[in-house]
Amino acid sequence: MSTLLEAAERHIPPGYDPALYKIRHSAAHVMAQAVLEMFPDARIAIGPPIDEGFYYDFDLPRTLTPDDLAHLEGRMREIIRGNFPFTCRAVSMDEAKALFANQPYKQELIQGLAEDDITVYTQDSFTDLCRGPHVAHTGEINPDAIKLLQVAGAYWRGDENQPMLQRIYGTAWRTADELEGYLWRLEEARKRDHRVLGKKLDLFSVNEEVGAGLILWHPKGGIMRKIVEDFWGNEHERGGYDFVYTPHIGKAQLWETSGHLDFYAENMYAPMDIDGQDYYLKPMNCPFHVHIFNSQTRSYRDLPLRFAEKGTVYRYERSGVLHGLLRVRGFTQDDAHHFCRPDQMPAEIDFAVNFSVSMLRAFGFVDFQAYLSTRPEHYVGDLAQWAAAEQALEATLNRVRLPYQMDEGGGAFYGPKIDIKVKDLLGREWQLSTIQFDFNLPERFNLSYVGEDGQAHRPYMVHRALLGSMERFFGVLIEHYGGAFPVWLAPVQVVLIPVTDDVLPYVDQVAARLKAAWIRVQVDDSSSRMNNKIRLAQEQKIPYMLVIGKKEAADGTVSVRLRTEENLGAMNLEAFVARVMNVIEAKEGL
């Protein structure tokens, strides 16, 4: 038994608090028991812990209601107070099939398991196919710190061709205060939902006629994207990157050589026939950058080379997982590839990590958590390469004092990596930057450079995504700031609000002066009342509102209000311009 429990502990994801993981996993089983008591013929699917909670999928005879959730939550508390132990045992495949004879989803899962790797957990009257881990007994779950949140539709295994199930989301914490804090953050997150704010602030949209998962950038979102891309480009140029541009499609042979058609085909779109040959929309930029490296003989003196591209890629995502800007089918990666000599590799990793963190800080992120993923069971490359790469990654994290956790065996088959996550203002972690070694593509494409000895040598290749993708990064930015962007990013930085039409000539002069200083300005010359104009500007989260009446026009001043509702009063126009330019330069809030 102890061996089974020790094995179960290894299934806790890196970065997840082990105690909370077990509480939430156990709460999911308690919820499933309550559901089966309410619907004895229910068909159950899977119920894992997730970030800050858990869910379980069910095939039920009717749609659940809010009253059902309240009833289930009450029954869960009764089960918890029963202090029922969670017992684990290994079973054979035949025994597992018999245990879940009336559960088709469990039968399908069992078929995918190894004969000697099947365990079940039981508490009270409920037994589930599960690898664990769990708490010792239900009493370790605080009945005052659980909450069932909502019901959503979910296709079995995320496949729209499979049955639609009902997914019950819940959360569980150690204490009632922790639950209360989480529910507050949940409400704040709802207010910050980038899909809602994207529409409200007129930043982007998704149109079904265009296609699900394909983003239309509106003018306000477009100018923000341009600002980010201009900053991105300037920083990369200063960082010694060379800019490259590559096609949106490539021949089948390219993707065969790279291995994508062997390992990644399910995420690629169907080929198109061009002159009798198959071409594919690119899911990644890497093979193109490799060919740029290979386009000429490279000397050891040429290295390191850093190729950067904002390359739009296309990946097939099932409709059930599409989510605003965060999960899309066409997106622009801020991609880069470093090619270097083995002796340059530690310095390149230092550079990549420092460069990434510095860039993210410019956007207002200050709280970072890194994850170092090491060699998996199946891998390419030799052990010496892996050891050197892993040591270099860990040494860099220690040098830059970036907090990190080890993800043993979590690397890709082609190399170890560092993932850098940022925490937003609600404390949520977002995966943004990745620095990934690749021992696969240099071999597949036979990359080489001429060393000091005149012989051919294989370079190290490092993938580096900094913002991840423009789409997802903007989703994170919107939710981080709740749409109230710092002045340098705000699509409209200043709105001019004339009190009467008599002052419009002066308003035009003010607008021209602001535009001359490259300050983004909008004039609200509508017939609405002044208070309505101010309220609208605040709803649009415009940083500065300049109210201009006859006195301001006569004095050559502007009356300054902030979106925070603070009234700064009258200010000389040139003093206001200087203030805004200083705030933009410093990349500050207001």
Q: Are 496 and 546 in contact (CB under 8 A)?
A: yes
Q: What is the spatial distance between Cα 577 and Cα 512, in angstroms, rounded to a whole number?
A: 12
pLDDT at res. 588? 82
Degrees, nearest 5: CA angle 280-285-286: 110
* Residue given tokens 């306000």 in the structure block: 220
Q: Are 84 and 124 in contact (CB under 8 A)?
A: yes
Query: Read out DSSP for 133-180?
Result: ---SBGGGS-GGGEEEEEEEEEEGGG-TTSPEEEEEEEEE-SSHHHHH
- The string over 311-344, giving b where at least 16 C-beta atoms fall within 10 Å of a residue's C-beta and e elsewhere, is bbbbbebbebeeebbbbbbbbbbbbbbbbbbeeb
| Helix and strand totals (H; E) in the chain | 19, 28
Q: Are 15 and 369 in contact (CB under 8 A)?
A: yes
Catalogue the active-site residues. 286, 315, 333, 335, 337, 417, 463
pLDDT in tens, 104-120: 999 999 998 888 889 99
Q: Are 31 and 72 in contact (CB under 8 A)?
A: yes
Task: Note if the bond before 304 is cis, omega within 30 degrees.
Answer: yes
Q: Are 5 and 135 in contact (CB under 8 A)?
A: no
Number of CB atoms found within 10 A of residue 481's CB = 20
* Residue given tokens 């957990």 in the structure block: 121
Q: How far is CA 384 from the centre of its chain?
A: 32
φ, ψ of residue 410 in degrees (nearest 5): -90, 0
pLDDT at res. 114? 86
- Alpha carbon distances (Å) from 261 to 148, 280, 286, 335: 42, 10, 14, 21
Q: Are 315 and 267 in contact (CB under 8 A)?
A: yes
Closest CA to 553 of 512, 515, 499, 517: 499
At 251, is the secondary structure helix, strand, or coil?
strand
Where the chain has pLDDT below 70, the residues are 1-7
Dihedral over alpha carbons 19, 24, 29, 30 (to 10 degrees): 100
Q: Are 99 and 12 in contact (CB under 8 A)?
A: no
pLDDT at res. 168? 98
Strands 521-523 and 494-498: parallel
Q: Are 284 and 212 in contact (CB under 8 A)?
A: no
φ, ψ of residue 496 in degrees (nearest 5): -100, 130
502, burial (CB in 10 Å: exposed 0-12, middle 13-18, buried 19+): exposed
pLDDT at res. 540? 97
pLDDT at res. 318? 86
